[in-house]
Amino acid sequence: MIRFLLSILFVFALSNQSIGQVLGFSLPEGKKRVDIPIEIQNNLVVVRVVLNDALPLKFIVDTGVRTAILTQKAFSDILQLPYSRKYTISGPGGEKLIDAYVTNNVSLTLPGVTGRGHALLVLEEDYLELRNYLGTDVHGILGYELFSRFIVKIDYSKKIMTLYLPEKFHPRKRYQEIPMLVEDTKPFILTSLEVTPGNSMTAKLLVDTGASHGLMLEPSSDDRIRVPETTVSTIIGRGLGGVITGKIGRIKALKLGSYTLNQVLANFPDPNSYLDTLKNSLTFRHGSIGGEMLSRFTVVFNHPQGKLYLKKNGQFKKPTYFNLSGMELKAKGANLNIFEVSDVRSLSPSEKVGILEGDIVVSVNGLPAKDLHLNEVNALLNSKPGKKITLVIDRKTVRYTLSFRLENQI
């Protein structure tokens, strides 16, 4: 399961720029709240957005992004949107990573919500291949403009996002209230974690709906954050400069309010593996909490008052496994129902039976892949340790049938 670290990709592009106009999200007159249907794709919240009252698209809702982003310039070109500025974003050594443009006075309409006069950062193309790694058409990202205007409740179980007018919101007693810091437009919490037995600390963590991982910790931020002895080395995300590599292991415990989660999977990025390192970030942090963890709760973001509310749901005690098959897939084709192996982890069950990068999955345990969604294929390949998986794959002009058992290596 790929971990997208979207929130860390755009800070440097916008950190010292004032490209926004007056924020324009509003509810219909007389409305105190609105419920919006959402999709949950790889632990990310996806909502329908109509661009300039003409083009229906899908955007990720991301607490870690300052302004709205359109991931493919082709869509703004269709609407003939004017660009006021161009950015060339470079990586280490001056190597060009992406070109991006700014267009102003854009309307972004959600179900039951109108947004006028927004600035939009437009990427030259979908450098992150979001549609391929999520297996669904995703065209952009919504950020701080939404959270600054409303109290935002995300019910991962019911797949509903509720927006409240701040003056009309009253928290319910069943929710855990956690103080939240809003710095550089992003929400942070201070919380207790135990990396190894007896090694406890208070960590400052970004609460990041735009990342699909559960927990990310940066070892360079504190000597007490040590990479566990038992880990796997793998791709933990994809950034503008390519893959983000690191190690994944388990920490002893993470505490969120009165909730304690034990044996939590945590990502430990390799040094300099992604661009927005903590040293270069505008706001210091020890790491982040992402969608895999947040999806165990109903989450309420109260940016105006600096409060986060959590209420556990039926997924709270769900066991966490990391990629039991060892292969990573991406969806291709017009209907996103061709599944290509994009990576095979060393010493994993997939590697042991000879699966190679570039193989095409034809069926999984007798189920034709063309009838499945990427989420469904990944769920089968990460169901439980010991489960037998039989794949039919195409490799160039040859078809193979390969079987293996899922293995928990962490």
Q: Does domain 171-312 have CATH number 2.40.70.10?
A: yes
Interval 383-398: pLDDT, tens? 999 999 999 999 999 9
How confident is the model at residue 96, as a pLDDT?
61
Q: d(Cα 386, Cα 375) in Å, to the nearest integer?
A: 20
H helices of 20-95, in order, are 73-78
Q: Could you count the other beta carbons within 10 Å of the beta carbon of residue 304?
A: 15
Residue intervals in the chain for CATH 2.30.42.10: 327-405
The residue ranges of DSSP E strands in 116-273, in sequence order, are 118-123, 140-142, 151-155, 160-164, 176-179, 181-183, 186-196, 199-207, 215-217, 231-239, 242-256, 259-269
Determine the 3-state secondary structure of 379 from DSSP: helix
Q: Quick one: average pLDDT of 200-204?
A: 96
Phi and psi, residue 195, nearest 5°: -70, -50
CA angle, residues 225, 228, 230, in degrees to nearest 5: 170
How confident is the model at residue 197, as a pLDDT?
87
Interval 320-346: pLDDT, tens? 999 999 999 999 999 999 999 999 999
| Pairing of β 25-26 and β 114-115 | antiparallel
Percent of the chain with pLDDT over 70: 90
Determine the 3-state secondary structure of 215 from DSSP: strand
How confident is the model at residue 281, as a pLDDT?
52
How confident is the model at residue 274, as a pLDDT?
58
| Pairing of β 68-70 and β 118-123 | parallel
How confident is the model at residue 3, as a pLDDT?
41
Write down the pTM of the prediction: 0.91
Query: May I ask the CATH class of domain 6-167?
Result: mainly beta
Average pLDDT, the chain: 89
Query: May I ask the CATH class of domain 327-405?
Result: mainly beta
Residue intervals in the chain for CATH 2.40.70.10: 6-167, 171-312
